[in-house]
């Protein structure tokens, strides 16, 4: 069966400010040493399985030009612009409608655009297994990540250790972000995986699920689908899509479905959730510093310094994150980078939108 992919690239992540901006979210940044952006890496790692003509990018209209620039080989019509952000369920529904219209039934991989994966070949083999399962059994397949520590920022997947098909395990239920105590319990048990937000199914399977579980959305979706490639396409999309309920695929579909399998992935997944992730991604020097750009450090240890042309001279610093850009520089304690959102709030309140 033909393989397709829907890459979700509408996010507005603020956690990489000042490099990420309203007009340049994380998925369009290069955070690795190879100079490729997150979305470029996302596409690159599935190309052995999916031809570029079968890759669809769901994003916000304001990012369409960025997608085109960063993925020049992607057909223009594969950029699906959501008129407004409505969480993952409507986004996936829109992708499914386009894929079904163009390909009939097909395998559909749903992937975030702003995560990193270290071992591409292992990732591809997990995708292949997932496709096989989705095709043969009409299953909803989700990729679970074997947890390294008691993370409270992710959802979890509880699976049935005794019900497996090959390397896939049946999902018992999806669990919301836990508190630390619960997260520790999950980690200690051998029954939970992190929910990576990567899904594989047949487009017919997921459309059936929408019809069954979100029938109003499905109905609107059929109107949108009918208008694809007609002169009314834009008008219909803009009329109907904003009325879709803002709902996640986990909550809207997965938690209410049967026949869900998870394949545990152990391929060096990283959601690159904050500047601290850079420590997992890039090599540090002998002083524990991770440095790029024009930087001169004296007695400086365990710092992340992202410089540019301007000389950054540091003396006697420890455990800081320093990120320079053309118009703003961030200097933050490593343990406090979550307060970047306070910086952005303040900028918003003070009408300094040029920095957002």
Q: Which residues bind a copy of itself (CB under 8 A)?
A: 18, 296, 298-299, 310-317, 320, 322, 324, 327-333, 335-337, 339-340, 342-343, 346-347, 352, 355
- Give the residue with the Cβ less far from a copy of itself, 97 or 340: 340
Asked if residue 94 lies in contact with residue 82, where contact means CB atoms within 8 angstroms, the answer is: yes
- Give the residue with the Cβ less far from a copy of itself, 1 or 317: 317
Determine whether 165 is exposed, middle or buried from the number of CB atoms within 10 Å of its CB (0-12, 13-18, 19+): middle
- Give the residue with the Cβ less far from a copy of itself, 173 or 342: 342
Question: Shortest distance, CB of residue 195 to a copy of itself, whole angstroms?
Answer: 29
Question: Shortest distance, CB of residue 32 to a copy of itself, whole angstroms?
Answer: 24
Omega within 30 of 0 (cis) for the link into 218: no
Determine whether 103 is exposed, middle or buried from the number of CB atoms within 10 Å of its CB (0-12, 13-18, 19+): middle
Q: Phi and psi for 60 in degrees, rounded to 5?
A: -85, 150
- Give the residue with the Cβ less far from a copy of itself, 181 or 345: 345
Question: Shortest distance, CB of residue 274 to a copy of itself, whole angstroms?
Answer: 12
- Give the residue with the Cβ less far from a copy of itself, 148 or 333: 333
Asked if residue 263 lies in contact with residue 141, where contact means CB atoms within 8 angstroms, the answer is: yes
Question: Shortest distance, CB of residue 284 to a copy of itself, whole angstroms?
Answer: 18
Its sign, for the CA torsion 150, 154, 158, 164, is negative
- Give the residue with the Cβ less far from a copy of itself, 218 or 355: 355
Question: Shortest distance, CB of residue 279 to a copy of itself, whole angstroms?
Answer: 17
Question: Shortest distance, CB of residue 356 to a copy of itself, whole angstroms?
Answer: 11
Query: What is d(CA 323, CA 345) in angstroms, rounded to the nearest whole number?
Result: 19
* Residue closest to 347 by CA, chosen among 18, 10, 82: 18
Question: Shortest distance, CB of residue 12 to a copy of itself, whole angstroms?
Answer: 18
Q: Phi and psi for 131 in degrees, rounded to 5?
A: -60, -45
* Residue closest to 193 by CA, chosen among 144, 253, 149: 144
Question: Shortest distance, CB of residue 334 to a copy of itself, whole angstroms?
Answer: 8
Query: What is d(CA 205, CA 353) in angstroms, rounded to the nearest whole number?
Result: 43
Asked if residue 221 lies in contact with residue 89, where contact means CB atoms within 8 angstroms, the answer is: no
Query: What is d(CA 141, CA 159) in angstroms, rounded to the nearest whole number?
Result: 12
Asked if residue 86 lies in contact with residue 224, where contact means CB atoms within 8 angstroms, the answer is: no
Query: What is d(CA 151, CA 250) in angstroms, rounded to the nearest whole number?
Result: 18
DSSP class of residue 49 equals T
- Give the residue with the Cβ less far from a copy of itself, 217 or 314: 314
Query: What is d(CA 210, CA 315) in angstroms, rounded to the nearest whole number?
Result: 58
- Give the residue with the Cβ less far from a copy of itself, 250 or 324: 324
- Give the residue with the Cβ less far from a copy of itself, 118 or 310: 310
Question: Shortest distance, CB of residue 18 to a copy of itself, whole angstroms?
Answer: 7
């Amino acid at each position: 069966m033909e393989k397709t992919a829907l890459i979700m690239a509408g996010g507005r992540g603020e956690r990489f400010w000042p490099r990420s901006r309203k007009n340049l979210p994380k998925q369009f940044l290069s955070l690795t040493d190879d100079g490729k952006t997150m979305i470029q890496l996302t596409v690159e790692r599935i190309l052995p399985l999916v031809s570029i003509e079968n890759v669809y990018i769901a994003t916000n209209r304001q990012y369409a030009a960025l997608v085109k620039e960063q993925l020049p080989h992607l057909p223009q019509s594969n950029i699906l612009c959501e008129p407004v952000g409505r969480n993952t369920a409507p986004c996936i529904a829109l992708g499914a409608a386009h894929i079904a219209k163009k390909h009939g039934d097909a395998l559909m991989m749903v992937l975030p655009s702003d995560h990193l994966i270290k071992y591409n070949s292992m990732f591809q083999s997990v995708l292949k297994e997932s496709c096989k399962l989705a095709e043969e059994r009409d299953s909803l397949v989700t990729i679970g990540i074997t947890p390294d520590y008691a993370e409270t920022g992710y959802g979890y997947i509880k699976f049935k250790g005794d019900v497996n098909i090959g390397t896939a395990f049946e999902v018992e239920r999806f669990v919301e972000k836990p508190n630390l105590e619960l997260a520790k319990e999950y980690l200690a048990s051998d029954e939970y995986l992190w929910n990576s937000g990567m899904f594989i199914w047949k487009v017919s399977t997921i459309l059936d699920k929408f019809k069954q579980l979100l029938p109003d959305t499905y109905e609107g979706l059929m109107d949108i689908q009918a208008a694809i490639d007609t002169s009314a396409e834009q008008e219909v999309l803009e009329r109907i899509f904003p009325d879709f309920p803002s709902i996640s695929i986990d909550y809207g579909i997965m938690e209410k479905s049967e026949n869900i399998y998870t394949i545990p992935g152990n391929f060096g997944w990283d959601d690159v959730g904050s500047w601290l992730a850079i420590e997992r991604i890039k090599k540090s020097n002998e002083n524990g510093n991770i440095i790029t750009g024009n930087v001169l450090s004296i007695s400086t240890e365990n710092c992340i310094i992202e410089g540019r042309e301007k000389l950054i001279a540091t003396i006697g610093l420890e455990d800081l994150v320093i990120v320079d850009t053309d118009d703003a520089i961030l200097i933050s304690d490593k343990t406090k980078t979550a307060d970047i959102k306070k910086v952005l709030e303040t900028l918003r309140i003070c009408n300094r939108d040029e920095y957002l």
